[in-house]
Structure 1
Amino acid sequence: MQTVFEALGGAVGRRPGRETGQRVHRYSKTAAGREGRFWQPFNPKDVARFLQAAEKYDRLKRLAHRRERNGRENGAIGHVGMEVLRELLRLIDYKTGRLDPAIATLAQRIGRSIAAVADALKRLKEHGFLDWLRRYVPTGNAGLRGPQVKQTSNAYRLMLPAEVLRGMTAPPPQDDSQGVGSG
């Protein structure tokens, strides 16, 4: 006996280029070991420099945010973002640059919620300290449209933003921006 799905010829109107009908995040890549090009070796001597640059960036952005947002305390990265960054620097394989912890693992290790860690990762990416590659793995099960897949942990890469590499400067004091002292 044939199912209605089989009688209609499978997936009518299926998007081209998609391997299966499984729900995976858009732009996910297969976790087949090709991340080696994405990851780059990370010098352990750069950990302190990386953290100092992130803390300086956060502190300077916090000053600008306070002026714009009436005393808002959190900086661009935030304290949870700094905790996530420190944990990522502990987990990275310095030799290969491999960094692929699950968000739940990060949340458990730093004692924060999954939502807080996900938001911190987004802020780190938004400000140029982190990039990631969404990945999926085959499950080994055959489906009607092809092999089934499931989402797996992202592959992360630590970076320093161009603004940090150029050298950041503190925003001018409020008095200077108002033109006080012209005469």
Structure 2
Amino acid sequence: MAFRGPKVWLWRWRRNPLRRRADRVEAWVVLAAWTVTVLAGVLAGLATARTVEHGLARERAEWRPAAARLSEPAPGRAADRPEDAGERVWAEVAWTAPDGSARSGQVRVNPGTDAGTAVTVWTDHRGRLVSPPASASQAELRSTLIGGLGGLSAAAVPFAAGRALRRRLEERRLELWDLAWARFDPLWRGRTG
């Protein structure tokens, strides 16, 4: 393990007689890559979170509960045991859409529920079945998580591009070292030994 001295802040920007043009270019590449990475991540994350939050708020405003009735008995037996109480099965229900037309579809209900039992379903403005809308706290959590994921995804692109450019600069720097060493090695060969 090589010994490294104390970390010097902003070492890429300090004056140094051994600093080459490639070192200065790398310093600017690192600065630009981190700046773009942070900006892209934050802006994309905020935009994604805002879009998700607006979409979920629109669902809460537009989706309405509707009274429906089971068209046929739900399959299975009524949950007699407490451990079966959380089980739900698909059953056919019928309801009236906002335009007055009769609609039907399948929803999850308790097993063994009798035909004609009242069930609450959620519908959109056209009367189609939808899942219950997310509450305000659920919407906030979802928008935060999806916004964070969107921000990380957007930040990955400039970060990866910066890493690839730095790798290419490092390869070029090593090529230049090889050229310089090939030039000076014959001069030093006779002096050592």
TM-score, structure 1 length as denominator? 0.20
TM-score, structure 2 length as denominator? 0.20
Larger radius of gyration: 2
Normalized per residue, the structure richer in helix is 2
